[in-house]
Amino acid sequence: MATQNWITLKQDAESGIETIRAHFEGHAYDPHWHDSYLVGLTEQGVQQFHCRHVRHQSTSGGVFLLEPGEIHDGDAPMSEGFTYRTLYLEPHWLERELRALFEQAPEHCELSFAATLARDPRLAECTAQAFSALHSEDLRIVRQTTLDNLLGSLTQHLRWRKRINPDPRLPLVAQRARDYLHSHLHQDIGLDDLAQATGVDRFRLTRAFKAAFGLAPHAYLIQLRLARARRLLALGQTPGDVAASLGFSDQSHLGRWFQRAYRMSPADYRKRCSNLPD
């Protein structure tokens, strides 16, 4: 039996915020991450996903909050599926706006969410209103007002986390491997390259990396490239050029991974964000 999955996506030119409304039945998407802060609202059904090594279920009226880099998947445990709205907040935009909102914001800190799920009617209402204003391309003053209301309602769900590098909670070898992947993401990296860069054998490296980040190094590298691909496509670069610049073997290789993570093709994503023809 065919599912009735669908996605609508818009991008606000002024703030760079993406708005996605979608419906999924059964399996929604594979484990992946975004380089944005996600503030979402479950409209209908039960949205089930794994994040922070915990299985979460967001139900109608519930808000879900994800930080950049947090790996999550998605599926619908109920036959009717689930529908949600999500705002993808660019980290620099969010931090700038919130530092203006807080009278005293700590230095050398980054924003984090206190919890992954929130049952907060005010936050849910502000999320829905901001989504509606941006997704419908309402008047600029309306969009800005609803975003200010959203930021105000978010403050009690935020905390400032001190930037620490390296992070003492994670194995140093895993952090070194992650940094190497970030700085060499365009290259054809092998496990032997990572092992040499971190000073351990491939097997110890893989175990430490999976324990720290929830993905094997090769899967992390793919997700890193996909996150970068989203940004380049939104700027109007063609899928072929993006695939070549990020180390994918060809455009179809990028397309297969992009579809698994985001349930749309790179060309479709580019068109929705940039309004450029294929």
- Evaluate if residue 87 carries a pLDDT over 90: yes
Is residue 105 within 8 A of residue 98, CB to CB? The reply is yes
Do 152 and 182 lie in one domain? The reply is no
Question: Can you give the CATH number for the domain in which 102 is found?
Answer: 2.60.120.280
Do 244 and 225 lie in one domain? The reply is yes
Query: pLDDT tens digit string along 198-244?
Result: 999 999 999 999 988 888 999 999 999 999 999 999 999 999 999 99
Q: 74-111: buried (b, 16+ CB within 10 Å) or exposed (e) per residue?
A: bbbeeeebbbbbbbbbbeebbbeebeeeeeeeeeeeeb
Q: So what's the pLDDT on residue 275?
A: 61
Do 142 and 227 lie in one domain? The reply is no
Do 87 and 180 lie in one domain? The reply is no
Residue 167 belongs to some domain of the structure: no
- Could you tell me the pTM of the whole model? 0.84
Query: pLDDT tens digit string along 251-272?
Result: 999 999 999 989 899 999 999 8
Query: pLDDT tens digit string along 31-80?
Result: 888 999 999 999 999 999 999 889 999 999 999 999 998 999 999 999 99
Model confidence band, residue 1 (pLDDT cutoffs 50, 70, 90): very low
**Domain hosting residue 36, numbered range:** 6-162
Do 197 and 254 lie in one domain? The reply is yes
Residue 1 belongs to some domain of the structure: no
Do 38 and 148 lie in one domain? The reply is yes
Do 128 and 49 lie in one domain? The reply is yes
Total count of domains within the chain: 2
Count the alpha carbons within 13 Å of 174 in the hemisphere toward its beta carbon.
19
Tokens representing 269 are 């994503």
Angstrom CA distances, 133 to 17, 89, 123, 129, 147, stand at 12, 15, 15, 6, 9
Point out the least confidently predicted range of 1-10, 88-97, 180-189: 1-10
- Evaluate if residue 90 carries a pLDDT over 50: yes
Would you say the C-alpha torsion 147, 153, 157, 158 has a positive or negative sign? Answer: positive
Is residue 206 within 8 A of residue 191, CB to CB? The reply is yes
Q: So what's the pLDDT on residue 171?
A: 84
Do 116 and 23 lie in one domain? The reply is yes
Is residue 103 within 8 A of residue 155, CB to CB? The reply is no
